[in-house]
Structure 1
Amino acid sequence: MTNSDSEMGMMLKTDEDRVIHGSTITFNSINYTVFSKQYVFCMKPTKKQILYNLTGIFKPGMNAILGPTASGKSSLLDILAGRKDRRGLTGQVLIDGQPSMQDFKYRVGYVVQDDMLSETLTVRENLTFSANVRLPRNISSKDKTAIVDRVIKQLGLDKCADTRIGTENSRKVSGGERKRTNIGMELVLSPTVLFLDEPTTGLDSSTANSVIECLGQLSKKGHTIIFSIHQPRYSIFKLFDNIFLIAAGHCIYHGPASDVLSFFTTTGFTCEEHDNPADFILDISQGLRWTSCVNIENEIEGEGQKKDKIARYLHDVYIKSATYTSINQQIANVSIVSNEEKPIQPRSESRSALIKMLYVSQRTLRKSFRNPTLMVMQTIVPICLAIFIGFLYCNTSRTLENGIKNRFGAIFFIVCNQVFLNLSALELFIKDRSLYIHENASGYYSTLIYFISKLLCDILPLRSIPSVLFSLIAYFMIQFQQTVTKFFIFLLTIFMTAICSASICFFISASVESFALANLITAAYCVTMLVFTGYLLDVTTTIKFLAWIKWVSIFRYASNAITVNEFTDLKLCQTNNTNICLINGEDILKDQKIDYSTTWDLWANFVALGIMIFVYFILTYVQLLRIQKAK
């Protein structure tokens, strides 16, 4: 039996029979430096060291990383979980004494500080999604359901299992239930190691206590629980097995939680009888409660320098202690034992890319149907505008004056309508950005799967159907030329204009994090492109350094396509009641300097729109990759 088979068998055992053999994480000489540019145009990035020579061991049980704000807790947690870029990182992290596999970050559970859940799905549906896209393909749907049910029972989520998560403004489940659901998203993997970044943030004291107690129960089943926490109350602190106390990037204590007070007592600090030990040690790490026996300069300029010196002093005290010697001996013992064991086997393959895409698409559509406001309005508004345009230009005549003017007016209105209606696509990659970053980093799906799924679930219901409905109403009410070929060319133009407009929004939404900034950029872009439609400006007379803009204007290609389609073979007469036609539509096209003489002159507009769609799709995908890499 392979390691993977035994792991799967262990997943399916009942709570009473299941025994998790948690991994032991050891790390040696961890140093971490970040590089950042102080100014936008600064050529040379500045360096700032976050962690200094950290060494430690986390065994199965409750392992807490404590420290003041900005002390490096989250950075250390990310490094241990394999979630930090290797640039600026030195040192070694071992799993059971062996180098971690490349896919280690996908084999462990990681619960981020903020709740990462699909708000319109129920607790059970969120857990089921995690199981479907992350568990190995050799586990049946029935077994996955059993795993989800077991996790729900294990975390005490039975009563809210079929309740939707809800938004921040209209919560359906409590804060503690949301946090436990986040933990459950990772527990479906039955990970040997579970990382949590500040799991009590945003929770009241009672709820925070229940969450930590829940983690304590998991640790008793054999899980290695590693979490960062800022300032726990005593009822929480007493549940810790081991702590790693960090200040300004330096380790100032690492060992059993029960020994921390005696360690600092020998250093010269005394915790008062009714004082919270967690508050006591955090105060020490920040330079508070110092006694005269500590020889340190108090008149150092700059608060940051003072904190650094305090941290270095406490670190020096720690590395000279018996506790530090004991930790190093434990690390050495883990290495000796593990050298005799077999290497860690890579995990079994999870679902295929196609199946993952189906699950991601299913979730996206389910979220849309359960919050149908956008989908409904994206359909109703085009219908209303089509009717309005239809009445506005109803029975467009074939007379020289009104026929020409109304046709150009209708075409301009239609193109503007199609571009601006599809700006709703701006929120696509902004709204769920944090969820995408977390799920992508946790191995739920690849960037390509996410990208294609989001496109399909946006384009098919929100761009295609409204385009068809708009075309059917507007074309025949305006009474453009009544031929099948010309109608379908009009429909194709409307559809491609909608997709091209949406593709620009996709790119912008993947490039910026703020919806307000995305709106500003899109408005500036659209107004600029609108000028080069051909109706507001003779593009042939534009100054040279601006003339290139006409080649990237959606408005120009869309209006040219509809104009050529409508005006070719059109006869314009003096009045509607005469067959004496003084001018052909082709003459109008020639007067407007629009090419029409060959079939290519019409289809070149569709090729241009297609190229723009393709380019913006590629740029959007590149931006999503950039987001994933940056985080």
Structure 2
Amino acid sequence: MGPSGGGKTTLLNLLSGRIKLDSGTITYNNQPYSKSLKWRIGFVLQDDVAFPHLTVKETLTYAALLRLPNTLTMQQKKERATYVISELGLERCQNTVIGGTFFRGISGGERKMVCIANEILLNPSLLLLDEPTSGLDSTTALQIVKMLRNIARSGKTVVTTIHQPSSRLFSKFDKLILLGKGSSLYFGKASDAMLYFSSMGCSPLIAMNPAEFLIDLANGNIKDKSVPSDLEDKFFPRNNSLDMKHGELSQVDVHEYLVEAYAVKEAKLGKTKLIKPLLIDAEPRMKARSSTMEWGATWWDQFSILFRRGLKERRHEYFSCIRITQVFSTAIVMGLLWWRSDASSPKGLQDQAGLLFFISVFWAFFPMFTAIFTFPQERVMLAKERSVGMYRLSAYLLARMTSDLPLDLILPLVFLVIVYLMAGLKSTFTAFSLTMLTVFLSVVAAQGLGLTIGAAFMDVKKASTLASVIIMTSMLSGGFFIQKVPVFMSWVHHVSPLSKD
């Protein structure tokens, strides 16, 4: 526990092995961190990262299929997900989508439960949580802490950071580390924290939540608190004590005093450990994977699972009301403008060439800007899942691209059928198939380019600006507006997806 910037999250990241040490060592039961130990540690991020369009059951089932050891069958992995759902009391919302910014799903407390469930699927021996009660009301926060306490009582080690808990939450903690500006101010039983500071002469002068009192001390704030005599004597000599007030003590002075007092206490205790090390072991069927068995599923299983998950997640985006309305309205407007166009005359032929040009422009412009927003949004999820070794990057990339192909084909097909019937284009199967193939290849190329730009910049504004420049350049160099292009710009014509050749 500690104030913002005290080092809580950094400490958890170090303990979980997510960031490397610049100095010092961290051991687990006197063993250094290794890949085999990685599978026994669960880490719940402060931000609830999950796919918004998947249900609770789908989210945990896919995670179980990807993360649980290969020694378990698919059915056993699904049963494990069902068991965790039941254990955390998520049955009521298991068929409800997670939800996002623009549409409603499960509640904030249930989202946090899902994130915790995602980590305890592996039955970890050590569970780390970064501020699991942030943004939750007091009742929901208490339920989360009670659930974590039950996990701890089952023989697991649960380490959680917390900013400023209520008195009810504080009473549930077994051990407490109080951090301030990266330094330890107290480590021991949570119930003994007030006694420790009282013993040095620092206690609240008014009724105060213990957690609030401790956070104030970690911040160096001694307002409404008694000042230790040692601290008074150190900074206020007795001949000046009548002229000085407690409020003149700086936060730095208070912080340094508390750090020094804790160091003296530790020196007296020597190397006595307050907590006996728990053997990090798991159930026989959930034993940690060795370094030679790094993945929970084969490459092909990873690909097929990610492919199915991608279809379920992105079908909502592809077939949203706004997207369908946009495609249908554009097709109808173009069909009305080129209603029953006749290609027998040069003027009619030129009109149909213009129609084909704008079809190409639409299906290059539309998918590109949709794809630009995709990777920046998925990057957080990808980083989270990759950090725990859920799947190979190659399996993700191939599944990501191939899961888009069937979705990419449906709307362009419907769009082209409407335009073909209304505009009176050449109504032969060969002509329609070639047109459809051209549009489909244009969609794939535009989407690939959009994903590349989005991944390269990770900034939607910068990526959109570059995409606009590329689209404009492709349109101008396509051969519809200018026939004679200077030699030094002729290369643009050959790489443009909108070239009439």
Which range, TM-score by smaller chain? Answer: 0.7 to 0.9
State the one-letter code of the partner of 2:51.
Answer: S
Q: Of the candidates 393, 396, 404, which is equivalent to residue 458 of structure 1?
A: 404
Unmatched segments (≥5 aa) in structure 2: 237-249, 281-287
Q: How does 1:27-426 map to 2 (within 5 A)?
A: 66-84=1-19, 86=20, 89-168=22-101, 170-272=103-205, 274-289=207-222, 291=227, 293-294=230-231, 295=234, 310-321=254-265, 323=266, 326=269, 328-330=271-273, 346=290, 349-369=295-315, 371=316, 374=319, 381-382=326-327, 385-386=330-331, 388-393=333-338, 394-400=340-346, 402-422=347-367, 423-426=369-372
State the one-letter code of the partner of 1:346.
Answer: S
Give the Cα separation in 2 of the matches to 1:238 and 1:332. 19
Q: Report how far residue 398 of structure 1 moved.
A: 3.1
Give the Cα separation in 1 of the matches to 2:449 and 2:235. 59
- State yes or no: 1:501 paired with 2:446: yes
Q: Report how far residue 161 of structure 1 moved.
A: 2.9
State whether residues 391 and 477 of structure 1, in contact with CA within 8 Å, keep that contact through their aligned partners in structure 2.
Answer: yes
Secondary structure at the counterpart of residue 191 of structure 1: coil
Q: Report how far residue 99 of structure 1 moved.
A: 0.9
Q: Of the candidates 444, 450, 469, which is equivalent to residue 390 of structure 2?
A: 444
Q: Relative to structure 1, is the Cα distance of residues 471 and 146 closer, same or farther in structure 2, using a 3 angstrom cutoff?
A: closer
State the one-letter code of the partner of 2:125.
Answer: T
- State yes or no: 1:526 paired with 2:459: no
Give the Cα separation in 2 of the matches to 1:151 and 1:327. 42
Give the Cα separation in 1 of the matches to 2:358 and 2:123. 57
Secondary structure at the counterpart of residue 359 of structure 2: helix
Give the Cα separation in 1 of the matches to 2:320 and 2:116. 32
Partner of 1:564: none
Secondary structure at the counterpart of residue 115 of structure 1: coil
Q: Report how far residue 256 of structure 1 moved.
A: 2.0
State whether residues 65 and 78 of structure 2, in contact with CA within 8 Å, keep that contact through their aligned partners in structure 1.
Answer: no
State whether residues 342 and 349 of structure 2, in contact with CA within 8 Å, keep that contact through their aligned partners in structure 1.
Answer: no
Give the Cα separation in 2 of the matches to 1:443 and 1:455. 21
Q: How does 1:428-443 map to 2 (within 5 A)?
A: 428-443=374-389
Between stretches 183-192 and 102-111, larger displacement belongs to 102-111
Q: Report how far residue 334 of structure 1 moved.
A: 5.4
Partner of 1:36: none
Q: Report how far residue 122 of structure 1 moved.
A: 2.7
Partner of 2:482: 537
State whether residues 234 and 277 of structure 1, in contact with CA within 8 Å, keep that contact through their aligned partners in structure 2.
Answer: yes
Secondary structure at the counterpart of residue 26 of structure 2: strand
Q: Relative to structure 1, is the Cα distance of residues 373 and 450 closer, same or farther in structure 2, using a 3 angstrom cutoff?
A: closer
Unmatched segments (≥5 aa) in structure 1: 1-65, 298-305, 339-343, 561-631
Q: Relative to structure 1, is the Cα distance of residues 379 and 177 closer, same or farther in structure 2, using a 3 angstrom cutoff?
A: closer
Is the strand fraction higher in 1 or 2?
1
Aligned CA RMSD, in angstroms, stands at: 3.2
Q: Report how far residue 313 of structure 1 moved.
A: 3.9
Give the Cα separation in 2 of the matches to 1:131 and 1:317. 47
Give the Cα separation in 1 of the matches to 2:78 and 2:275. 42
State whether residues 39 and 122 of structure 2, in contact with CA within 8 Å, keep that contact through their aligned partners in structure 1.
Answer: no
Q: Report how far residue 516 of structure 1 moved.
A: 4.6
Q: Relative to structure 1, is the Cα distance of residues 193 and 478 closer, same or farther in structure 2, using a 3 angstrom cutoff?
A: same
Secondary structure at the counterpart of residue 178 of structure 2: strand
State whether residues 261 and 271 of structure 1, in contact with CA within 8 Å, keep that contact through their aligned partners in structure 2.
Answer: no
Between the two proteins, the alignment pairs up a number of residues equal to 472
Give the Cα separation in 2 of the matches to 1:95 and 1:309. 35
Q: Relative to structure 1, is the Cα distance of residues 439 and 271 closer, same or farther in structure 2, using a 3 angstrom cutoff?
A: same
Give the Cα separation in 1 of the matches to 2:152 and 2:107. 24
State whether residues 341 and 352 of structure 2, in contact with CA within 8 Å, keep that contact through their aligned partners in structure 1.
Answer: no
State whether residues 390 and 478 of structure 1, in contact with CA within 8 Å, keep that contact through their aligned partners in structure 2.
Answer: yes
Secondary structure at the counterpart of residue 454 of structure 1: helix
Secondary structure at the counterpart of residue 120 of structure 1: coil
Q: Relative to structure 1, is the Cα distance of residues 195 and 334 closer, same or farther in structure 2, using a 3 angstrom cutoff?
A: closer
Between stretches 74-83 and 502-511, larger displacement belongs to 502-511
Q: Relative to structure 1, is the Cα distance of residues 483 and 165 closer, same or farther in structure 2, using a 3 angstrom cutoff?
A: closer
Deviations 1:234-266 (A, max 9, x none): 111121111122111122222222222232223
Q: Report how far residue 512 of structure 1 moved.
A: 4.1
Q: Report how far residue 380 of structure 1 moved.
A: 6.3
Q: Relative to structure 1, is the Cα distance of residues 472 and 447 closer, same or farther in structure 2, using a 3 angstrom cutoff?
A: same
Deviations 1:166-194 (A, max 9, x none): 33565443322222222111111111011
Give the Cα separation in 2 of the matches to 1:202 and 1:218. 22
Give the Cα separation in 2 of the matches to 1:189 and 1:142. 15
- The higher-RCO structure (CA 8 Å, 6+ apart) is 2
Deviations 1:575-626 (A, max 9, x none): xxxxxxxxxxxxxxxxxxxxxxxxxxxxxxxxxxxxxxxxxxxxxxxxxxxx
Q: Relative to structure 1, is the Cα distance of residues 93 and 470 closer, same or farther in structure 2, using a 3 angstrom cutoff?
A: same
Give the Cα separation in 2 of the matches to 1:477 and 1:156. 55
Q: Report how far residue 144 of structure 1 moved.
A: 2.7
Give the Cα separation in 1 of the matches to 2:198 and 2:418. 83
Give the Cα separation in 2 of the matches to 1:312 and 1:547. 69
Secondary structure at the counterpart of residue 116 of structure 1: coil
Q: Relative to structure 1, is the Cα distance of residues 345 and 136 closer, same or farther in structure 2, using a 3 angstrom cutoff?
A: closer
State the one-letter code of the partner of 1:553.
Answer: S
Q: Relative to structure 1, is the Cα distance of residues 325 and 472 closer, same or farther in structure 2, using a 3 angstrom cutoff?
A: farther
Give the Cα separation in 2 of the matches to 1:514 and 1:432. 13
Secondary structure at the counterpart of residue 35 of structure 2: coil
Secondary structure at the counterpart of residue 432 of structure 1: helix
State whether residues 45 and 129 of structure 2, in contact with CA within 8 Å, keep that contact through their aligned partners in structure 1.
Answer: yes
Q: Report how far residue 444 of structure 1 moved.
A: 2.4
Q: Of the candidates 553, 556, 559, which is equivalent to residue 496 of structure 2?
A: 553
Q: Report how far residue 70 of structure 1 moved.
A: 1.1
Q: Report how far residue 554 of structure 1 moved.
A: 2.3
Q: Relative to structure 1, is the Cα distance of residues 190 and 93 closer, same or farther in structure 2, using a 3 angstrom cutoff?
A: same
State the one-letter code of the partner of 2:262.
Answer: Y
Q: Report how far residue 345 of structure 1 moved.
A: 6.5
Give the Cα separation in 2 of the matches to 1:71 and 1:539. 65
Q: How does 1:467-478 map to 2 (within 5 A)?
A: 467-472=412-417, 474=419
Q: Give the % identical residues.
A: 28
State the one-letter code of the partner of 2:5.
Answer: A
Q: Report how far residue 153 of structure 1 moved.
A: 2.9
Deviations 1:295-317 (A, max 9, x none): 359xxxxxxxx656654443222
